[in-house]
Structure 1
Amino acid sequence: MRTEIFDYIIVGAGSAGCVLANRLTEDPDVSVLLLEAGPGDKSIFIHMPSAFAYPLANDKYNWYYHSEPEPFMNQRAMYCPRGRVLGGSSSINGMVYIRGHAMDYEGWASYAGLENWSYADCLPYFRKAETRAKGGDDYRGDSGPLHVSTGACKNPLYNAFIDAGQQAGYARTEDMNGYRQEGLGPMDMTVHKGRRWSTAMAYLRPALKRPNLQVRTRALVARVTFAPDTSPPQATGVEVVNGHRTDAIRANREVILCGGAINSPQLLQLSGIGNPDALRGLGIRVVAPLRGVGENLQDHLETYVQYACKEPITLYSAMNPIAKVKIGLEWMLKGTGLGATNHFESGGFIRSEAGVQHPDLQYHFLPMAISYDGSAPASFHGFQAHVGPMRPTSRGFVKIKSVSPKEAPRILFNYMGTEQDRKEMRAGIRLTREIFSQKAFDRFRGEAVSPKDDVQTDAEIDAHIREHAESALHPSCTCRMGTDDMAVTDGSGRVHGVTGLRVVDASIMPDVVSGNLNAPTIMLAEKMADTIRNKAALPRSQAPFFIHPAYETQQR
């Protein structure tokens, strides 16, 4: 067993890990090792935005996890892809750039010890990370590594969705990442010059030029190591499985886990940090008895509301082999055309009922009727809205099955386990049908495909959800920040009960935010980088945000 020494060891080259690798190595006196269990990101299917279904639906670039049979979803084992490649999930996701609502971060800051996670504290780091193609302002950045563009909405169906929303009484919002999230409008994507702009592209590629950064792919970390007989236990490094050999690598300063909401709690448990009874049952020595490790698992569930389209203008025309070749050639030669977009170019956020303070339902509109990961190919001209609750009350867990880092952990989300979640999903379907019934869709709207028109009662809608809803792929909160007995990390990501060990990824969110998680995870890592480097936090923002003035009595 050979031993190497670095100042920082980062486990996981995903949305957070690539950010930290870049920011920590800005200090030339610091050495950083970035370990990624998966391969490099050279595939054309990663970099071509419209091809994201390919890496999303196979196990070459992702962990290909599945939940245990979900008790409230007809015992279905739900698909839970997680990036296992440079860039992590930012290299296989749908590239939607959504920050969440300001009130999400106000909610984080309401917890003891998390006072510096308010919207005013987080907004400067969103701006620091971003370069928006349309330019910056008090909300948007103009000089960050992460390039963000806005959908052109050339297909008339995109604007039909926005117009129909207005006809149904919802506002149009030009920037749901700016002052006003609530409403329907064009959506942003992490696409730059026709290419996916993952954190590997935005943060890791520039940092690779620095001599103080080493990156190793196909490096599976088996456990975090600790110094013997220290109180509290001191993390000293990691053990990496390399074929039949195990290498020990030391960290002079910190080990930082960036594996995400599934892999970070898995690695903590493998390292002796977690529920002591469960760890002893597997023969693992308890380093720190933290019962919250792997608990509090949260995710967004969504369903598709699909209609046939009466005009042949949907993406179904692009699904035949000849069309795909033409699209691929244009993208490779010019970086333009249908290959250069994620096709989620309009969407939005609404409130499910009066009394809800900020939007609890999200939309992604797609001018095609197809499954998100491409597993159910389109067979007709159609369109769909993805809709789902943003702040689920169901909670799940991640628990290891054995001492092997190669064995996937047990994952259970308990989707739709509460009446509140079922109520919000029912509202989502009914409100979406209402939007699609507006005049703006009259020329396009064919028959209802899913759910059918005869699915009307609460029981019928619930049955439809149990059979058809899918994960929106936003697992989070399994190593949550806080100070109570079930918290795993403090407000700086440091693991309770040990020293020299930190978690920086979506797992430390105390509650899932109202939107997609890639942008918030990047923000979180940018903010944590300053904390780790003992740099002063960026000045707090004074920018206001929109709350519907009559939310207590009006749904829209």
Structure 2
Amino acid sequence: MTTDTFDYVIVGSGAAGAILAARLGEDSTLSICVLEAGPRDWHPYLHLPAGFIKVLFNPDFTWQFSSEPTEWTGGRRVPLPQGRTAGGSTAINGLVYNRGQAEDYDGWAAQGNPGWSYEELLPCFKRSERRIGPGDDALRGRSGPVPVTDIDWQHPVCEAFLEGAGELGLPRNPDYNGATQAGVGYFQRTIHHGLRQGTAPTFLTPALKRGNVALRSNAHATGIVFDGLRATGVRYRRGGANGQTEVVRARCEVIVCAGAVNTPKLLQLSGIGPAEWLQRAGIPVRHALPGVGQHLKDHFSVRLVARAKNAVTINELARAPRLWNQAARWLAGQPSVLALSPSLAHFFWQSRPGLARPDLQGVFAPASYRAGYVGMLDDYPGMTCGVWQHRPQSSGWVRLASGDPFADPLVQPNYLAHEDDRRVLLYGVRLARKLLQTRALAPYVAAETMPGPDVQADDELLDYVRRYGVSSYHLNGTARMGPASDATAVVDAQLRVHGIAGLRVADASVMPDIPSANTCAASMMIGEKAADLVRAQPARP
């Protein structure tokens, strides 16, 4: 067994971990080691936007987690893939840049987390972002490492969808990351010059070139090393379950950035978590912390599909011979389906009158996937309108299935367990259906194919949701932030694990509540905020 020492050891190189490592590495006097369980981001599909569908379910680059079955998923296990490569889920996600609503973060601060209001976090959002396109400079970043661009590929069906939304009273919103989120428009995305802009190429790779940041890939963390109740390093295996055990020591701190599933898993493997859970898995209790693995939330989405007419959709463009033309356009730097995010247009709206802010998010694209065949486009022209509830009340958990560090944990988001979640999503499904039935879109809609016109009653639509609803892959909350007086809190407002010295968590698991958005932008912000918090504390000799 080999051992070496750095000032900081970071577990995970995803949205937060890569940014945190890069920011700490700006101080040339510090040394930082990043442990990544997966490989470097070498595969071309990790950089080609359309390549996400080729790697999303590839275990070489993803964790193939799934939910425990429940009544509200029709007894199904819902796939929950998470990134397992340099850049984490920013290397495989849907490329949407969506911060959420100011009220989300003001709510975090109001729960006893000083420094986490929207006004206080706005500099962290802006610091990462290089907004290429219109926007208020008071709210948008212009000089950060991550390009955030507008779509450069136009399609008449998308324009008709947005025009039709206006018929229903949904206004055009030129910048949902600006002063207000409500309305419809095109998504902003982390794509530039035809390539994905995850946190590996934008933050981690430049940091590695400075020489004081080291990335150890294929390094699976198996436990945190302690001196009493102080974290002093991380134990890991290089190259898989049969690999050599190694230890990397931290002079200052260990910072876990492994995501909402693997972060609570690693804490529990290290003896930090609910005592009953640890004992059941055969793990000695080092520090009983009831909130570890609790409060798991996710966005549960459902999609409606229509057969298209009078237009060539992505379904046809993504197949030969048209695909070859699209490839040539991409190589020439021209707009192409190879450089698109999966969802092109958005709507943010309220499920009932009188709400102060949207509680629904919807997505639209002139493309559709075969029922039951993830990633396989329909063999006819199609379009999809999907929807999910912004702030679900249902919550679940992540806990060890055993003491084997290479065994997947049990993951239970408890989708739709709360009655209000079913009510809001049902309204969202009906709104999505109305958006597919507008006058403006009518010239392009041949027929609704999923769930189909025969499905009308509330119980029929909920049954459809039960059978076809999927994760939006926005897992969070399993090491939630809060004061020590909150029995469910795992970290404080400085992201320090309660009751343990030298140990922080910085990723989506610390979110006190789910944001009204895709979670990537908020996770990147957490990486920036964590760097500020760490740098504000003098390094321990």
Q: CA deviation at 1:235?
A: 0.3
Partner Cα separation in structure 2 for residue 462 and residue 282 of structure 1: 36
Superposed CA offset, 1:228-257 (max 9, x none): xx3xx0001010112442111110000000
Partner Cα separation in structure 2 for residue 416 and residue 278 of structure 1: 24
Segment drifting more, 264-273 vs 491-500: 491-500
Cross-structure match for 2:307: 308
State the AA in 2 paired with 1:294.
G
Partner Cα separation in structure 2 for residue 79 and residue 44 of structure 1: 24
Cross-structure match for 1:554: none
State the AA in 1 paired with 2:7.
D
Segment drifting more, 333-342 vs 32-41: 333-342
Partner Cα separation in structure 2 for residue 502 and residue 328 of structure 1: 44
Cross-structure match for 1:485: 487
Partner Cα separation in structure 2 for residue 533 and residue 340 of structure 1: 37
Unaligned 5+ segments in structure 1 are: 537-556
Superposed CA offset, 1:347-396 (max 9, x none): 12001101322111101111111269843431211111111101011111
Q: CA deviation at 1:333?
A: 4.7
* DSSP-derived class of the 1:456 partner: coil
Superposed CA offset, 1:459-497 (max 9, x none): 111101000111111000000000201111111111111
**Contact 2:153–2:335 (CA under 8 A) maintained in structure 1:** no
Partner Cα separation in structure 2 for residue 496 and residue 326 of structure 1: 56
Q: CA deviation at 1:169?
A: 0.7
Cross-structure match for 2:356: 357
Partner Cα separation in structure 2 for residue 346 and residue 319 of structure 1: 19
Partner Cα separation in structure 2 for residue 501 and residue 168 of structure 1: 50
Cross-structure match for 1:237: 233
* DSSP-derived class of the 1:128 partner: helix
Superposed CA offset, 1:240-295 (max 9, x none): 11244211111000000000000000000000000112212322221110111001
Q: How many residues align?
A: 531
Partner Cα separation in structure 2 for residue 472 and residue 415 of structure 1: 12
Partner Cα separation in structure 2 for residue 297 and residue 335 of structure 1: 41
Cross-structure match for 1:219: 219
Cross-structure match for 1:318: 317
Unaligned 5+ segments in structure 2 are: none
Cross-structure match for 2:403: 403
* DSSP-derived class of the 1:397 partner: strand
Q: Which runs of 4+ in 1 moved over 6 A?
A: none
Partner Cα separation in structure 1 for residue 57 and residue 322 of structure 2: 21
Aligned to 1:531, which of 525, 530, 533? 533
**Contact 2:153–2:336 (CA under 8 A) maintained in structure 1:** no
Q: CA deviation at 1:153?
A: 4.9
State the AA in 1 paired with 2:100.
G
Cross-structure match for 1:127: 126
Cross-structure match for 1:417: 417
**Contact 1:343–1:366 (CA under 8 A) maintained in structure 2:** yes
Cross-structure match for 1:90: 90
Report the identity percentage.
38
**Contact 1:125–1:523 (CA under 8 A) maintained in structure 2:** yes
**Contact 1:397–1:413 (CA under 8 A) maintained in structure 2:** yes
Cross-structure match for 2:385: 385
* DSSP-derived class of the 2:67 partner: strand
Partner Cα separation in structure 1 for residue 334 and residue 89 of structure 2: 22
Partner Cα separation in structure 1 for residue 65 and residue 130 of structure 2: 33
Partner Cα separation in structure 1 for residue 173 and residue 64 of structure 2: 36
**Contact 1:343–1:367 (CA under 8 A) maintained in structure 2:** no
Cross-structure match for 2:288: 289
Q: CA deviation at 1:323?
A: 2.8
Cross-structure match for 2:13: 13
Q: CA deviation at 1:312?
A: 3.1
Please tell me the root mean square deviation across aligned C-alpha atoms, in Å: 1.6
TM-score (norm 2): 0.95
Superposed CA offset, 1:412-443 (max 9, x none): 11111111011011101111122222211121
Q: CA deviation at 1:507?
A: 0.3
State the AA in 1 paired with 2:230.
Q
**Contact 2:349–2:360 (CA under 8 A) maintained in structure 1:** yes
Cross-structure match for 1:71: 71
